[in-house]
């Protein structure tokens, strides 16, 4: 879009529109983009300039609305100045907008690693859009014609020889020219004649178009493949459409890359949880052994261990072979037996939890695979947005774009069926849970004691979840509190909208305006944390 021959015709088109127009103001809304506003007769005109080195462009944009907020102004000394002429430097790609006021000139550098817009007065840069400290007060950048070598004196491979002899030809089309003219098989005379013809076509008969691969060109079909190309009547319109099309494609590519990277992390996490679920049978084996040891102790409850931390008894599950059973020396045999029965229950819960997580994770992984399959078929950002609407509940889409922050939360994230459950890790973490949860989520906390805030994420559902789910979350809230040692612990639960944090109160402190109470047995939450 910034080739010399393109800029020749763009300058002519700009001059036809901007000559005698009055400069109004110049503003920028985002990095590397400058909008210049003019008035001519009763019409307002906007000239958009991109000085991003990756996608440099300049074009008249019919969308002339000018926002005042979140913008920065430039070149205020030009206000009211009339445009005399828009032209391109002889043999170079500088575009000049010359004004009648005080010999002021806008110099547009639309090429190189440091594209920019300068305000020039009497050969001195008085204002620079980018890097003002580097440029202001210094002489203007002087145009310099290209250095050309006769083709028979150029060195290197064919592409390098063409660049040395025909430096004004667009470099991104040299491969096309070599292919269309079969130049690898031709002698120097033929190559020179062919490329001179191509250069004359650009200079005298430009044919602006966007090719099927998205590139802008003014080459005719004699020199490039224009099958599927979209032709335009003006260079300006082709540049404008090409610029916005490329911008949309870039946004699509950026979003697709972002989601793909996050999906890779999720697949890794899911595989770890599935593997843990596959190994869950070990918890069941431990539960069985804990029960056996408890039964052995019960059968010998009349024995006094005399303060020993172990006891050797016949194992009637193994042909009465002697077995060493660890003990808590501060408790009797019956109490130690109960400890083993408690361990049995805990191991069984661990097994059930791991299996449940495995099943839930298998579903999430299958859904993620389906999402990625659809994402890989997309070509436009709007297609990604449609997929997000379809699968919006999946955690792949649950962030604002910051993957790290989404996957590393300051609170524990568990899953129970289709619900995510958040558990605060400390007082400050409790505040985060409260702040980031939705008003219709279910909030739980052990009653009368300090502990973690627990939230069942409802995804804006209005009906309360199944009571079994509330009981499960309540048992976790009880465990994550100072009431974990009780056989039964009262836990209050309510919608998040009835919980408020008083202004200036310590971390973790809340007031509950409306609550329900449920009695549950404290249960340790699973180890599988989806927040990391």
CA 71 to chain centre: 24
pLDDT of residue 98: 96
β-strands 489-495, 442-446: how paired? antiparallel
pLDDT tens for residues 403-444?
334 345 678 888 887 788 999 999 989 999 998 898 899 999
pLDDT of residue 403: 38
pLDDT of residue 49: 95
Helix (H) / strand (E) containing 372: helix 333-375
- Using CA atoms, how far apart are residues 86 and 89, in angstroms rounded to an integer? 10
The domains of the chain are located at 4-135, 151-233, 256-399, 409-520
- DSSP-H helix ranges across 376-442: 381-390, 403-407, 427-436
Tokens read off for 81:
């100045």
At residue 508, the 3 state secondary structure works out as coil
Report residues of the chain scoring pLDDT below 70.
66-70, 399-409, 460-462, 528-532
4-135 folds as: ibrinogen binding protein from staphylococcus aureus fold (2.30.310)
Helix (H) / strand (E) containing 256: helix 235-278
At 516, give phi and psi (nearest 5°).
-120, 155
Helix (H) / strand (E) containing 44: strand 43-50
Q: Where are the beta strands (DSSP E) in 355-488?
A: 412-416, 419-423, 442-446, 454-456
pLDDT of residue 401: 38
pLDDT of residue 529: 57
pLDDT of residue 407: 41
Instruction: Provide the whole-model pTM.
Output: 0.53
CA 277 to chain centre: 31
- Using CA atoms, how far apart are residues 493 and 472, in angstroms rounded to an integer? 12
Cα-Cα end-to-end distance for the chain = 45
- Using CA atoms, how far apart are residues 390 and 371, in angstroms rounded to an integer? 9
Residue-by-residue DSSP string for 73-121: EE-GGGTTPBEEEEEE-TTS-EEEEEESSTTEEEEEE-SSSS-EEEEEE
At 436, give phi and psi (nearest 5°).
-90, -10
pLDDT of residue 13: 95
Helix (H) / strand (E) containing 355: helix 333-375
Long-range contacts of 389-394 (CB under 8 A, 24+ apart): 391/367, 393/418, 393/459, 394/364, 394/367, 394/368
Tokens read off for 134:
């580097």
């Amino acid at each position: 879009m910034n080739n010399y021959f393109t800029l020749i015709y763009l300058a002519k088109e700009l001059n036809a529109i901007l000559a005698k127009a009055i400069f109004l103001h110049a503003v920028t809304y985002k990095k590397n983009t400058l909008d210049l506003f003019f008035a001519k007769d009763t019409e307002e005109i906007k000239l958009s300039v991109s000085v991003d080195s990756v996608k440099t462009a300049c074009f008249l944009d019919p969308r002339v609305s000018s926002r005042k907020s979140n913008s920065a102004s430039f070149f205020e000394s030009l206000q009211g100045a009339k445009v005399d002429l828009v032209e391109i430097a002889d043999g170079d790609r500088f575009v000049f907008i010359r004004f009648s006021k005080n010999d002021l000139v806008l110099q547009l550098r639309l090429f190189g690693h440091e594209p920019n817009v300068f305000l020039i007065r009497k050969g001195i840069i008085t204002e620079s859009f980018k890097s003002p400290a580097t440029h202001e007060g210094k002489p203007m950048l002087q145009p310099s014609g290209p250095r050309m070598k006769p083709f028979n004196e150029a060195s290197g491979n064919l592409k390098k020889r063409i660049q040395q002899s025909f430096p004004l030809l667009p470099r991104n089309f040299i491969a096309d020219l070599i292919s269309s003219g079969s130049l690898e098989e031709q002698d120097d005379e033929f190559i020179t004649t062919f490329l001179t013809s191509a250069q004359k076509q650009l200079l005298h008969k430009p044919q602006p178009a966007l090719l099927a691969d998205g590139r802008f060109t003014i080459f005719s079909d004699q020199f490039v493949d224009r099958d599927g190309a979209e032709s335009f009547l003006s260079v300006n319109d082709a540049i404008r459409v090409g610029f916005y099309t490329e911008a949309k494609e870039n946004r699509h590519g950026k979003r697709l890359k972002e989601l793909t990277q996050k999906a890779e992390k999720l697949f890794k996490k899911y595989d770890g949880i599935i593997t843990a679920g596959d190994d869950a049978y070990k918890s069941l084996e431990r539960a069985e052994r804990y029960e056996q040891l408890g039964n052995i102790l019960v059968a010998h409850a009349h024995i006094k261990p005399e303060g020993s931390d172990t006891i050797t008894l016949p194992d009637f599950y193994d042909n009465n072979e002697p077995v060493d059973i660890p003990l808590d020396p501060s408790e009797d045999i019956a109490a130690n037996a109960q400890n083993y029965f408690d361990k049995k229950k805990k191991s069984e819960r661990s097994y059930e939890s791991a299996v449940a997580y495995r099943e839930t994770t298998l579903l999430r992984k299958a859904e993620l695979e389906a999402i990625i399959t659809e994402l890989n078929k997309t070509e436009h950002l709007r297609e990604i947005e449609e997929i997000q609407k379809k699968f919006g509940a999946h955690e792949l889409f649950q962030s604002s774009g910051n993957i790290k922050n989404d996957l590393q939360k300051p609170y524990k994230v568990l899953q129970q069926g289709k619900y995510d459950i958040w558990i605060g890790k400390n007082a400050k973490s409790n505040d985060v849970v409260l702040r980031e949860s939705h008003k219709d989520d279910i909030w739980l906390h052990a009653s009368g004691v300090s502990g973690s805030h627990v939230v069942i994420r409802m995804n804006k559902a209005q009906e309360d979840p199944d009571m079994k789910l509330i009981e499960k979350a309540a048992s976790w809230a009880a465990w994550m509190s100072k009431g974990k040692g009780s056989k039964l612990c009262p836990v209050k639960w309510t919608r998040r909208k009835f919980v408020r944090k008083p202004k200036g109160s310590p971390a973790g402190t809340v007031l509950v305006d409306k609550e329900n109470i449920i009695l549950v047995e404290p249960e340790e939450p699973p180890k599988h944390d989806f927040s990391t």
